[in-house]
Amino acid sequence: MWRACIMFNPLTATKEIQKSYVNFYKTNFTLGNEKLTEQFSKLSENNRLWREPFISIGQKYLPGKTLEQLNLEIKLNDDLIKSLSLENLFLHQEGAIRNIVHLERNTVVSSGTGSGKTESFLIPVLNECTKSEVTGIKAVLIYPMNALANDQVDRLRGILFELNKIRQEVGKREITFGIYTGPTARQINGKSGELNPDLIHLSFKCPSCDRSDALKCSADNGKVILTCKYEKELKIKFQIFTREELRNNPPDILIPNYSMLQRILVNQDDKPLFEKNKIKHLVM
């Protein structure tokens, strides 16, 4: 089961950021003098390169209905409900999901970090995707920066991993998604005929074993799939990685950034992306 809430340790996160900061300087600004190198190390060890972290207490959000109670009212897809381990909703999540799914209203969700904004739009988006067995774009999720998109994709991959397992058991097609940004590879093969170098270096968190960088790209019958280096039998086929396949087999959910969306809307090569689409949701 995919879990909506992940425990966050701010002190551990602070140490990881500090470690990355020091590694960046050591890698990009190598000092030729041993004494200076030693002094730099002492500065980092004594916390002279940064201030101590400031921690603020987050506000409590008003509780709403349980997902099961809301489902009785607005009738979400049963497979989607089974794939989520989200039981209790915040009031703003309940309102957003009802507005989008039941009332079909344009909705703005304005709340703090960790308040469940992602679930507020992902549940309606995935609910729409489950309604049709026909491929084609049903939702466009736009992020201002690639880093934000990558963070959200880990969560989306985790949800779809559980949802698609349930759908496959009853003979339904997998719900797919694809990222279309500047770094997106043009095709599966590089100049040498092997897997495109733009794909070889990619690695992702595995939704099954929950290990970071466990998933790697592999070629399978002319398509890119994800395989886990710890669970050899695991194959993830619902993420589309190349521009060529995005055009030939448009995903249910397209994730571009603003600049790339502007380009693909006027690019003739990308015309197939939107020829058979049934776009219902635009998330910004």
Residue 37 falls inside a structural domain: yes
Note whether residue 202 is domain-resident. Answer: yes
Same domain, 261 and 193: yes
39 located within any domain: yes
Q: Are residues 154 and 271 in the same domain?
A: yes
The answer to the question of residue 193 being in a domain is yes
**Measured in whole angstroms, how far is the alpha carbon of residue 118 from the centre of its chain?**
10
In terms of domains, do 68 and 156 share one? no
Secondary structure (3-state) at 41: helix
- Can you give the pLDDT at residue 147? 67
Closest Cα to residue 257, out of 249, 265, 248?
265
Whether 127 is covered by a domain: the verdict is no
Helices (H), the chain: 10-28, 34-45, 67-74, 78-83, 91-97, 117-129, 146-169, 197-200, 243-248, 258-264, 272-275
pLDDT the model gives residue 103: 95
Q: Are residues 139 and 221 in the same domain?
A: yes
Give the per-residue pLDDT at 42: 77
Residues 197 and 284 in one domain: yes
Same structural domain for residues 174 and 85? no
| Number of structural domains found in the chain | 3
Residues 30 and 103 in one domain: no
**Cα-Cα end-to-end distance for the chain:** 27
Burial label for 157, CB within 10 Å (0-12, 13-18, 19+), is: buried
Residues 214 and 100 in one domain: no
Q: Is residue 125 part of a domain?
A: no
Q: So what's the pLDDT on residue 190?
A: 65
Q: Are residues 166 and 264 located together in one domain of the fold?
A: yes
pLDDT in tens, the chain (284 residues): 444 444 567 788 888 888 788 777 777 777 777 888 788 777 777 677 777 777 777 778 999 999 999 999 999 999 999 999 889 999 999 999 999 999 999 999 998 878 889 999 999 999 999 998 888 999 999 987 776 667 788 889 999 999 999 999 999 999 999 999 988 999 988 655 578 888 988 899 999 999 988 999 999 988 999 999 999 999 999 999 999 999 999 999 999 999 999 999 999 999 999 987 789 999 99
Whether residue 175 is found in the same domain as residue 38: no
What are the angstrom distances between the C-alpha of 254 and each of 53, 222, 229, 276, 277? 37, 21, 27, 14, 11
Residue 52 lies in a domain: no
28 shares a domain with 78: no
The boundaries of the domain holding residue 266 are 132-284
Cβ-contact 157, 271 below 8 angstroms: no
Q: What is the pLDDT of residue 5?
A: 47
Which residues make Cβ contacts (< 8 Å) with residue 96, sequence separation at least 6? 107, 109, 120, 121, 124
Quickly list DSSP for 203-222. EE--TTT--TT-EEEEEETT
Clarify whether residues 24 and 162 are in a common domain. Answer: no
Two structure tokens written together for 88: 């209790």
Residue 5 lies in a domain: no
